[in-house]
Amino acid sequence: MKHIVIIGNGISGITAARHIRKQTNHRITVISSETEHFFSRTALMYIYMGQMKFEHTKPYEDWFWKKNKIDLLKDHVQKINTTEKTIQLQSGNHIRYDSLLIAAGSKPNKFGWPGQNLKGVQGLYSYPDLQLMEENTKGITQAVIVGGGLIGIEMAEMLISRKIAVTFLVRENDFWDNVLPKQEASLISRHIRSHHVNLLLATELKEIVGDNSGRVQAIVTNKGEQIPCQFVGLTVGVSPNIDFLKESGIETKRGVLVNEFLETNVPDVFALGDCVERKYELPGRRTVEQVWYTGRMMGEVVAQTIAGQKTKYEPGPWFNSAKFFDIEYQTYGTVGNQLKQNESDFYWEHPIGMKCVHVVWDKITNQFLGINAFGIRLRHECFDRWLREKKSIDFVMNHLVEANFDPEFFERHEGEIVREFKKVGSRQSVV
């Protein structure tokens, strides 16, 4: 029986703990300075919006941990001594481990803007961040959000739910067009504006201006525009949370460096989740993957290794999902924001403009490469299988109706999509 210590009670750490518990009788301790219990970070926005309470975001009732003998420790890790295999905690205690799993997550980025440490300026990643935002947005009327990603748009939705006017600074020419193709990014930009967000594209933050009491009162953009506000949300991405690993001997760059078994350079020390940086390449995937799904997968992988069956991290075809105000997004495979040389694509949009489908395939081999869907639900199982089996674009389009996952009685669009695709296909073949 070993002592498995997990730093971080997010999805990757807890997934590892659950699977280790299921397969072994090792002693398990999970350390977190953020919250006592595991909660779904993806649901933080709903607490602020009054759709849920914090307790609803916990995937497991509080009795679960004791019953499954997973010790939860609320403390902050200050130092790791890999020689002696001990962890030094802020409370002064030391913990000895046999295997250490670092699942320390991320922290919001800041890029050295003047005024970024004023009161009312913050990022949003953790539950304490949410509590701070609750405090910072009391009684305010105007907010500015900086950054054009998923957390930014969620923050916009949060603030608007409390009738706070939102100005959204996006560096790109359309929202998220560093990830999405132009058509989808444009659709989402229009939708954001329809929710009365003042979306400023191709605009960056230059400076944050405070009042005499050290509280934010305005921001200045790179175009010289001054925008009054009482809250600034910095949502320009997140970075691996690895500061506490200095002097530990554990190798880091942007994140904790790991091999395909999620092992670090130090024996019996693994890393998983948001804080990880892979030393090796996986096609179509970034080396730092800060996505709920990959965090969960890594937890499963490490647990197998701890249980005695050394396992590689081998994710299947890429998938992700999101929701932009009222428009749901699902993506399977690879759909870049720009077509590669060997790629062809087809785009369909509903006349109302809240639904679209974008498919990409290899124009040489005709192999289906990826799909984006907005406002239409698709069946993960179908696309996972079709991508693994390298199906052709024609096969995928002809079977698209099988992949619909919308509720009963919802309007189906597959027939129309396929007809449009064949028309475009014919035109292309003529050329």
Which residues are near another protein by CB under 8 A? 11, 23, 40, 42-43, 46, 49-53, 56-59, 61, 63, 161, 194-195, 292-293, 296-297, 300-301, 304, 311-317, 319, 321-323, 325-326, 328, 330, 354, 377-381, 384, 405-411
**Shortest CB 159 distance to another protein, Å:** 12
Give whole-number Cα distances, 119 to 7, 144, 191, in Å: 30, 14, 31
Q: Which is nearer to another protein, 36 or 381 (CB)?
A: 381
**Shortest CB 270 distance to another protein, Å:** 14
Q: Which residues pair with 86 in a beta bridge?
A: 81, 96
Q: Which is nearer to another protein, 59 or 249 (CB)?
A: 59
Tokens of 291: 């996505």
**Rounded CA gap, 168 and 149, in Å?**
11
Tokens of 14: 């807890």
Q: Which is nearer to another protein, 225 or 381 (CB)?
A: 381
Give whole-number Cα distances, 335 to 105, 167, 324, in Å: 26, 29, 18
Q: Which residues pair with 357 in a beta bridge?
A: 348, 373
**Shortest CB 183 distance to another protein, Å:** 20
Q: Please, are residues 113 and 205 in contact by the beta-carbon 8 Å criterion?
A: yes
Q: Which is nearer to another protein, 116 or 294 (CB)?
A: 294
Q: Which is nearer to another protein, 142 or 321 (CB)?
A: 321
DSSP string, 376-391: S-B-HHHHHHHHHTT-
Q: Please, are residues 157 and 347 in contact by the beta-carbon 8 Å criterion?
A: no
**Shortest CB 297 distance to another protein, Å:** 4
Give whole-number Cα distances, 383 to 69, 351, 397, in Å: 38, 26, 11
Give me the amino acid identity at 88: Q
Q: Which is nearer to another protein, 94 or 388 (CB)?
A: 388
**Rounded CA gap, 74 and 10, in Å?**
13
DSSP string, 75-110: --EEEEETTTTEEEETTS-EEE-SEEEE---EEE--
**Rounded CA gap, 37 and 52, in Å?**
16
Length of the chain, in residues? 431
**Shortest CB 302 distance to another protein, Å:** 11
Q: Which is nearer to another protein, 377 or 422 (CB)?
A: 377
**Rounded CA gap, 271 and 323, in Å?**
29
Q: Which is nearer to another protein, 237 or 315 (CB)?
A: 315
**Shortest CB 232 distance to another protein, Å:** 23
**Shortest CB 387 distance to another protein, Å:** 11
**Shortest CB 35 distance to another protein, Å:** 14
